[in-house]
Structure 1
């Protein structure tokens, strides 16, 4: 079935998130208590709420999006390319810019969004942050009233599960076992908060995020048994 999907109709994406504040001490008293309640089952007695706060970016209620990287295929005759770009900066601004892309270029019923573990993380996180920031949800993220087959989302991790709901496979592992060249990355997801708040190096995070988008597209190609992208076909715009 995947080979019937037009590659030009898919928007591949990945997001990077960090805690809403640089440290637990910057939260007001209500938010501190709410964080303590929200995180108590995950941290148990091993960490205090303050010690655990560096992981707050995982939850949309306590984190924020610092960049959304996207990628899409373009074909000109037999020439294939994969173009990437990133929305970054102040969260409300980047969310509005991303929404505008969906509305202007990926709004048709034939268009799909695709990410790795995106149905569990990226798609709901973006939707929640849009609501928190007072942004009306675009059609592609508003799932209310839609039947399962009407939801325009693809997830490479879900495709790899083949119905096994207990199975989690990281993008890095999946790329490795499928023989996809691993891009040289000097950070991983666990370092994003530090690089953002302590090193103030958003460009480094953007590079990491765009490489994950390319890898997600490569995984999708392998699942279709298509030829992988080569470096000259990938263009950052």
Structure 2
């Protein structure tokens, strides 16, 4: 029962990703061919591999992480606060900084990671990029040999399914139906590529990523039957 979980033991997170290079032509010939083969099923005959390349950030083999935002609860008496912070910049450094946070503050058995569609996207994406950068996986992301009930991950989309595996429910849809302020009031995921490569506006991406992290926490609170956070309870550090 998620109502029995201690909120202070959960690290909420969201990531933003982009293709590893701005242009398809920046890839070497081997990587271009690999992208052509990898994306063929999704794009079918509607797009060429080059035309489809702005979506390459979805795949860890062809993309990179430009921001990881995290949030966690703290309680002082009756005062509840949700603190957010972000890691951004050069990918290898932000991954190491994120790993150091896990090791120093969220490495115990009681600690859990939570994201929306995290089990399908955020958690494996981070792990794959760490391996690509020859970063040893922290315990919370190393799932080799673990049984399903030993995996320290929560997924708000999975919790919402209640055993139904037929559908995908977006973060935007869940916030809407649960009466939570939408995090998609500026850019959305489809605009991160342009915002990063053309506008060079990482600050806008950070704000967007942090809003998604807050939304994940808000959804988790609603699933527990708790009151959602007010603006006064959210602190950016």
**TM-score scaled to structure 1, two decimals?**
0.99
- Structure-1 residue corresponding to 2:101: 101
Q: Distance in 2 between matches of 1:182 and 1:57?
A: 23
Q: Is the 2:12–2:115 Cα contact (8 Å) retained in structure 1?
A: yes
Query: What is the number of equivalent residue pairs in this alignment?
Result: 237
- Structure-2 residue corresponding to 1:38: 38
> Match of 1:68, SS?
strand
Q: Does 1:124 align with 2:124?
A: yes
> Match of 2:197, SS?
helix
Q: Distance in 2 between matches of 1:182 and 1:140?
A: 29
Q: Distance in 2 between matches of 1:181 and 1:18?
A: 26
Return 165-174 or 182-191, whichever deviates more. Answer: 182-191
Q: Is the 2:106–2:112 Cα contact (8 Å) retained in structure 1?
A: yes
Q: Distance in 1 between matches of 2:99 and 2:144?
A: 17
Q: Is the 2:12–2:216 Cα contact (8 Å) retained in structure 1?
A: yes
Q: Distance in 1 between matches of 2:196 and 2:52?
A: 17
> What is the deviation of 1:225?
0.3
> What is the deviation of 1:183?
4.0
Q: Distance in 1 between matches of 2:183 and 2:141?
A: 29
- Structure-1 residue corresponding to 2:2: 2
Q: Distance in 2 between matches of 1:170 and 1:34?
A: 29
Distance change in 2, residues 1:184/1:169 (3 Å) = closer
Q: Which runs of 5+ in 2 are unaligned?
A: none
> What is the deviation of 1:121?
0.2
Q: Distance in 1 between matches of 2:10 and 2:151?
A: 13
> Match of 2:99, SS?
helix
Q: Does 1:220 align with 2:220?
A: yes
> Match of 1:49, SS?
coil
Q: Distance in 2 between matches of 1:183 and 1:210?
A: 9
Q: Distance in 2 between matches of 1:209 and 1:82?
A: 15
- Structure-1 residue corresponding to 2:60: 60
Return 199-208 or 167-176, whichever deviates more. Answer: 167-176
Q: Does 1:135 align with 2:135?
A: yes
Q: Distance in 2 between matches of 1:181 and 1:21?
A: 34
Aligned pairs for 1:189-228 (under 5 A) are 189-228=189-228
Q: Distance in 1 between matches of 2:37 and 2:114?
A: 33
Q: Is the 2:70–2:85 Cα contact (8 Å) retained in structure 1?
A: yes
Q: Which runs of 5+ in 1 are unaligned?
A: none
> Match of 1:51, SS?
coil
> What is the deviation of 1:184?
6.1
Q: Distance in 1 between matches of 2:223 and 2:81?
A: 18
Let me know the Cα RMSD of the aligned residues: 0.7
Q: Distance in 1 between matches of 2:220 and 2:204?
A: 25
- Structure-2 residue corresponding to 1:23: 23
- The C-alpha deviation readout for 1:163-199, integer Å capped at 9, x for no partner, is 0011211011101101112246210000000000000
> Match of 2:218, SS?
helix
Q: Which structure 1 residue ranges, 4+ long, deviate > 4 Å from structure 2?
A: none
Q: Distance in 1 between matches of 2:88 and 2:10?
A: 21
> What is the deviation of 1:133?
0.4
